[in-house]
Structure 1
């Protein structure tokens, strides 16, 4: 089942993407059913008490103020007892980028990235809030979020949208008029979810219970980023784009015009190339379970072995006359152009055997290619 089909009972992924995504708030209807928690209290306890977290991985907030890390760390190590003292006294504990510490949360993020397609990244922070407490005042975010209530309850107030598609580059500006209209109030219980597009002003507070919720952050790719990429490509590929403007360009009474060659390029293949060049693969926690088992036991891949591209893998393939560049997990694998047909076969196949590959490579070369891709973490062996 798709993640988007499981978050809001009665709202399919198609309906969500058509009617809610980037447009309006969506929440679980009380009594409509709920999902299973992604994380247990025991797992949260193990992360805080047992994992070797860096002080930068944790933040404390109380009534709108951030508590300095120096108050709950010693010599660069988190003092869990002090951390819990602050929690008992009303502070919210934020576990940042929990997906980097828990494989199943990293997998959740990669799955959601695939379902949402053109987003740069999905990551997860966890919020632990004691009863009758509020970590942050009303604010808006520059990214869309899914709020997944895991344990306990939390009351949310959501105000009218105050900023149209804010980004980190636009100065934060919360106008006091956001309180002029009554907020929508939502109580999230365990297993319920809430979606908020960026720009919606919101605040949350606990009642009588402790609360754990996950904030699933969606980092977007915007039209302005693609235009910036297109401008870079234009300057590199179209000589007229590098020409000096006419002397009367700014003083002319007529509307300044762009050369036809530039307009043709902008409306043609340049957009497609900009989408290719805009790297949304980036570095994310590699989902490469079983890789060390393969390497340590030196298990041999044969012509009859069954292989597959690792699930939820985001990659880009760039081609030149004599080289293929495969980008994934923040690295680039360069391959000779002669492997092109066989590599395309691999990329298009859900599962395959080496002896099914029918490009220009012979069997021995195919084995070398797929063995390399397995060791790099791109492919996994389904059956030796």
Structure 2
């Protein structure tokens, strides 16, 4: 367009110069340029077509650059780029005389499915005439990258962390009499309020709480899935919390559990007790890829009643938590992938008796296997399922989804 403007400027100046000096030669030169411009405009009829070599759905990862092959057919100088939502497209310029292949780089910046259009500007070989065309492009499916999943989870975690810890770990009230609630297997029968039980025709327990004298149990999941890449993190987090609470005067106990067994250290104070907890956190690391699946079924009232009767016979976290006689603070560190439905049912039973918080290492964020398109799809699907699990447990107790770097200064600062 600039060249065309320059030529029309020369035409005008030639006519003006011929008029001012009375010479016909500048006018002849200007008329020649005019005829040339008119001829180029009339004869410019670009018949450019394009064919995208991949008309199917193109899948890629968020933030990853891809190349889309395009075949140009016709004559002229072609400037082409893809247009669409949430993409950055390379601009290509090439000379076409017949057919020519090109690859245009496209970088998606947001997950989703998008339809791209190919914007093409065609110039004649002298750059005097320009025509613009829009061609149907290609559809791309953008799946989230592992980094974006981690950042999203971390951002959500930062927003919720302070509120969850304030609600979950230790309260601020200091009350002798806490309230009445229904009897749960494992409660001390000395605390049954017989008058209230007679009125309501069911066993009622009286609860007493004194904050500094109340007990805090750190429950550490050492099941097989936790030992696949998350146990180092979980053990360090448990020691952080135990150290902080003991040094602030709380009675802290430890329960570690695995498939079919558990070990319990009664609550205590002091550096000696802290060393005992530190020496007890032992584990055997497992090999293999992390499992990302966990499901929670609906638990009916009838099923809960059955579980109340049967839990006392189980070896594991169920028996360990039901043996806690006094109302306590319970901090559970688990990825929620092992026996998820039973754990949910157990917490449904004991949440009226204890104050509970769940710190859950996210298996997706701890994944260390090979990454390819199929794996990314699975990770994305598991992340969606994981969100449902967290929301489900959140209805029982504050539940925080954690990544590999989430237990540092933020956790300790909020707890303190």
Same fold by TM-score greater than 0.5? no
State which structure, 1 or 2, has the greater radius of gyration over its C-alpha atoms. 2
Of Structure 1 and Structure 2, which has the larger fraction of its residues in helix?
Answer: 2
TM-score (norm 1): 0.21
TM-score (norm 2): 0.20
